[in-house]
Chains A and B, each alone.
Chain A
Amino acid sequence: MIERLSTGKHSLDRYLVLALLILFALVWVTPLAIVILSSMKTPIEQSQSGILALPENAAMIFDNITSASELSGIGNGILSSLIYAFVGSVTAVIAASSAAYSIAMLKIRFPFFWFLIIYSGTIFPFQMYLMPLFGLYQTVGLYDTRIGMLLFYSAIAVPFCIFVFRNYFIGLQGEVIEAASLDGASSFQTYLRIVLPMAKAPALFLFVTQFSWIWNDFLFGQVLAKSDYVRPVMTSLAMLSGTYGKGTIPQQMAGALTASIPTLILFFALQKHFMQGIIMNTAGE
């Protein structure tokens, strides 16, 4: 074991490990291949052909998406979720960056207290939010409205954004104060012209992560919405799928595939940010 460093047996081991890893990775992504293949089949074809058999007519996927949409309103869900994810994450980024600006750079009393108040929104399980939000939304008429969904999604995204912005702004402090005092800017001008342009990187990173989070939400769509028009994409998809779903397998897979496209595009366009995202989520740096 000790003496193996550069012997032939060692490199043989390495090839064996590599072969096993490749096999593992291929098995790992097989479910994804199955999703794509099944989404292109008719229900009969799906039940009669092999799981990995190629579809007879790939264009069948459009029929499946259309019928899945008629069944669950997933087409509407995609539109709604695009709005929620885009507007919600932008709102959160603006609200959080301005709050973090105040906490990190302006003269306020107990800055760390304010930070903790807002950041404490990340600490509770979502189950603590469900009943009061449901009740509140029913009372004030926000239940099953797009504006109600948007308000909630903005709120839930703020705490993590403020964590990232605060860290970032504390690092910037000196630079900004210097730049601001040079042209005698008001605090708002400083925020708009100096701080925000400097914060492009964290803002983009947060936009991407919060966009994906909102896009992927199922639970709050389930609790705060019911109509096809308001229900977000994942909640619609859930109506098709699972043990209690009402779609056929090809409809379910076509739905699952369509619902994943935006986050897949984001991932491949901004892979770096995603990886950075999970590191930031955990390491806080």
Chain B
Amino acid sequence: MQAGGLPDTNQVSTDPLRNEVPVTALGEASVETPTRAQALLRKIEPYLYLLPALLLVGGLLLYSVAHTLAISFTDWDLITPPRFVGLQNYIDAVRDPTFTRSFTNTLVWTGGSLLLPVGGGLLLAVVLERIPGQRVLKTLIYLPAILSTTVVAAIWSYVYTNNGVLNETLRWAGLDALARPWLVFAPTNTLAMIVASSWRALGPSMVLFLVGLQTIPPELIEAAKIDGAGERILFWRIKLPLLRPITAVVVIMSVIGSFMTFDLVWVMTQGGPGRSSETLAVTMYRQAFIMWRMGYAGAVAVILSAIVIVFSISYLRATLKRSAL
């Protein structure tokens, strides 16, 4: 949109980055001997294009990463100056039962997300692949993925509240015994939120698996069928192994997403009651912005990063390799 509009406004603006236009034009006019300044400019000009991106990313993001790392070795409440404490925050975190519970919850999130959206998405893709009307069904199932996590949290808070959608439906079906306060007790609250999150995550993983299935040569399937392979054998012996590259990507993405779970939990329970449904990202936020223990929060953020980066790097290797051309 914007990119299409740009070339039409083809004139020199006040943007400092565009200054080289008149300069090079000048350089061309006085052909033979470009001055030293012009030669220098010519050399650095290619780097000027990098500048806005570098300033934004370096100045805001990478600076923050380094600073958080530094904060994690200090005791700091944002008011008094930070005091260096070495690894104390990390030791505190590992010994803190709240941190352990938060870590366990995060692992439950990871497992649950592999089971429901990833496993479920694969199953749906395999079933949907040969169904007429695939398009409509696919769109319907994908629909929740367009909503933001906050909207999903708002909707599912209503589903799970005492007189909410789920309990009312259970009572209507005569299953009163099953009705309960879904977000109050652990581990039900975490499991309930994983279901809510899966509502949003299922569609994208299904679509990815469908794309993967399309890349399997039909002759291969036909040949296997002629050899007498049933649906089950077809799935385990042919489709699943051939889906491996896309499966790897979906699994890694799901794990990274699980470890970063924040919005949904914060909006639905704020990690409560009694910090029973916290994930690592929620623990970090609470320590930093509710309890003002910046050092401890920094340690949690660094631990979280270490885990995420391991997975991110394997993800980057998978994607960069494929796009390296």
Contacts and interface: CB of A to CB of B under 8 A. Distances in A.
B21 A22 contact: no
A126 B56 contact: no
A47 to B, nearest CB: 7
B58 interface: yes
A274 B260 CA distance: 22
A18 B56 CA distance: 50
Interface in B229-250: 229-232, 246, 249-250
Contact of B250 (A21, A47, A282): A282
Given A28-B144, A155-B56, A285-B323, A129 B149 contact: no
A94 B30 CA distance: 32
Given A28-B144, A218-B150, A283 B322 contact: yes
Contact of A124 (B263, B270, B300, B308): B308
A131 B71 contact: yes
Nearest to B49: A102
Interface in A72-111: 90, 92-99, 101-103, 106-108
Interface size class of A (residues with CB under 8 A): 35 or more
A44 interface: no
B83 interface: no
Interface in A155-196: 155-156, 158-159, 162, 167, 170-171, 186-189, 191-193, 196
A51 interface: yes
A141 interface: no
Nearest to A164: B323
A112 B4 CA distance: 28
Interface residues of B, number: 117
Contacts of A125: 259-260, 281, 301, 304-305, 308
B28 to A, nearest CB: 8
A281 B315 CA distance: 11
B175 interface: no
A126 B143 CA distance: 26
A127 B270 contact: no
B173 interface: no
Given A98-B49, A155-B60, A283-B319, A274 B146 contact: yes
Nearest to A30: B165
Contacts of A34: 155, 158, 165
A245 B78 CA distance: 28
A124 B262 contact: no
B151 A259 contact: yes
A99 B12 CA distance: 19
A272 B1 CA distance: 16
A124 B280 CA distance: 14
Majority secondary structure of chain A interface residues (helix, strand, loop or mixed) = helix
A245 to B, nearest CB: 7
Given A95-B53, A197-B4, 18 more contacts: A98-B53, A99-B52, A106-B45, A106-B46, A118-B57, A126-B260, A131-B301, A133-B64, A154-B56, A162-B53, A187-B46, A196-B7, A238-B266, A241-B154, A260-B146, A260-B148, A278-B208, A283-B319
21 contacts: A18-B132, A94-B2, A94-B6, A94-B52, A98-B52, A99-B49, A106-B49, A118-B53, A121-B61, A123-B312, A128-B302, A129-B68, A130-B284, A130-B285, A155-B59, A187-B24, A192-B10, A252-B154, A279-B211, A283-B211, A284-B319
The 4 A-B pairs with the shortest beta carbon distances in the complex, nearest first, are A284-B319, A216-B148, A241-B154, A203-B3
Interface of B: 1-4, 6-7, 10, 17-18, 20-21, 24-25, 45-50, 52-54, 56-65, 67-68, 71, 78, 127-128, 130-133, 137, 139-141, 143-144, 146-151, 153-159, 161, 163, 165, 168-169, 183, 199, 204, 207-208, 211, 225, 228-232, 246, 249-250, 253, 259-260, 262-263, 266-270, 272, 280-281, 284-285, 288-289, 294, 297-298, 300-302, 304-305, 308-309, 312-313, 316, 318-320, 322-323, 325
Interface of A: 1-2, 5, 14, 17-18, 21-22, 24-26, 28-29, 31-32, 34-35, 38, 47, 50-51, 90, 92-99, 101-103, 106-108, 114, 117-118, 120-136, 151-152, 154-156, 158-159, 162, 167, 170-171, 186-189, 191-193, 196-197, 199-200, 203-204, 207, 212, 215-216, 218-219, 222-223, 234-235, 237-238, 240-245, 249, 252-253, 255-256, 259-260, 263-264, 267, 271, 274-275, 278-279, 281-285
